[in-house]
Amino acid sequence: MTLPVGKLPTGLLGELLQLGPSQANEVLLGPAVGEDACAIRVPAGILIAATDPITLTGREVGAHAVKVNANDIAVMGARPRWFLAAILLPVGTDEAAVREVFEGIRAGLDEVGAVLVGGHTEITRVVTQPVVVGQMLGLCERNSFLRTGGATAGDVVLQVGSAPIEGAAVLAAEASARLASVGLELLDRARNALRSPGISIVRPALRAAELGATALHDPTEGGLSAGLYELAEASGIGLELDGEAVLWFEPGTALCAVVGADPWGTLASGTLLAVFPAALSERALEGLEADGYSTSAIATARTGSGVRFADGRPLARYERDELSRVLGSG
């Protein structure tokens, strides 16, 4: 069976991850469906490491790669510190374009407080647009870290930041010819979405950890829907969803409507899912909002499985991101 473009189906990925050798003793959290990074015990604490590529767009790939990888470190409760990048550029790339990628990387690193420590750059016939595969590392100096699978029945899921911010930016860059009916103000907001409101959730994630979060997750491919399902499955619980409480990014939903994409399944970097015990959730929500982060309680963890609205309807699941479908990339 030919596989579609995008993330591997979760069943297949879970099976493949079970085929490797047993984890070494120092590996506290290895590869697992739904988890954002790994955790390795080292003498100074716990090393957190993550890797992600930017492939759906060639626009602003440098800063984009830094931020999505930094997000994966922050949701483990660690501050991003060290970044490596494998940069693949198509034939015909000029010096100005290379400088632009590196300038974006440096700007992204300045924003998240990390530094470039290595990588590889080449011109290759294998790609048709710039591709950056990033690796970010951080360090938990305390002997604990957060994971996606930390929710228990009764916990409350807060959404911090709206969705789909990343999806809006990618659509504005890659589907401009199909967006003539979109108002200029909305289109400009979509084009600038990587910078404002931005896709970095490093600061709110670290703040949520300080406020007592028991689990954090960074929805990316497959959108808010995939993120909620990953959270539920990694934690072994079900989620009861309040659809009216979800925070939507208006330019993202408007562009999705024009191209026929469901915002629930559209790239959602810029959104944080933060889980708190019920007794702490209201104080956490107030604390995050006081710090300037749009926050809403959107779901409650229940015994069972899956993600359902209060009336029992299941939330549609998107293992393949909607942008892969509507942009015709596979």
Is the dihedral angle over the CA atoms 106, 202, 219, 36 positive or is it negative?
Answer: positive
pLDDT for position 4:
77
Alpha-carbon span 318 to 224, nearest angstrom: 9
Phi, psi of 72, deg, nearest 5:
-65, -30
pLDDT for position 21:
66
Across 9-29, average pLDDT:
80
Bond prior to 197 in cis (omega within 30° of 0): yes
Name the residue among 178, 249, 182, 194 with its Cα closest to residue 67: 194
**Other CB atoms closer than 10 Å to residue 67's CB: what's the count?**
30
What residues contact residue 96 under an 8 Å CB cut-off, 6+ apart?
none
| Mean pLDDT score of the chain | 92
The arrangement of secondary structure in 148-326, i.e. its CATH architecture, is Alpha-Beta Complex (3.90)
Per-residue tokens: 139? 């360090």
Alpha-carbon span 290 to 107, nearest angstrom: 27
Alpha-carbon span 185 to 200, nearest angstrom: 23
Alpha-carbon span 202 to 183, nearest angstrom: 31
Question: Above 50 in pLDDT, residue 327?
Answer: yes
Name the residue among 171, 170, 98 with its Cα closest to residue 132: 98
Alpha-carbon span 120 to 116, nearest angstrom: 12
Q: Is 324 helix (H, G, I), strand (E, B) or coil?
A: helix
Is pTM beyond 0.85? Reply is yes
Question: Above 80 in pLDDT, residue 303?
Answer: yes
pLDDT digits (tens, 9 = 90+) for 67-116: 999 999 999 999 999 999 999 999 999 999 999 999 999 999 999 999 99
Alpha-carbon span 249 to 232, nearest angstrom: 24
Task: Note whether 158 and 301 are within 8 A (CB).
Answer: no
pLDDT for position 330:
45
Judge residue 180's burial from the number of C-beta atoms within 10 Å of its C-beta, 0-12 exposed, 13-18 middle, 19 or more buried: exposed
Is CATH 3.40.50.970 correct for 36-140? no
Bond prior to 251 in cis (omega within 30° of 0): no
Supply angle C-alpha 264, 57, 63, rounded to 5: 100
The full set of domain ranges for the chain reads 36-140, 148-326
Per-residue tokens: 24? 């070494």
Return the C-alpha torsion angle 53, 144, 268, 156, nearest 10: 160
pLDDT digits (tens, 9 = 90+) for 185-235: 999 999 999 999 999 999 999 999 999 999 999 999 999 999 999 999 999
Per DSSP, helices labelled H in the chain are 10-17, 61-74, 95-112, 165-174, 184-191, 202-210, 223-235, 250-259, 278-290, 322-326
Equal CATH topology for 36-140 and 148-326: no
Alpha-carbon span 149 to 233, nearest angstrom: 8
pLDDT for position 212:
97
Q: Is 48 helix (H, G, I), strand (E, B) or coil?
A: strand
**Other CB atoms closer than 10 Å to residue 203's CB: what's the count?**
16
Per-residue tokens: 43? 């003498």
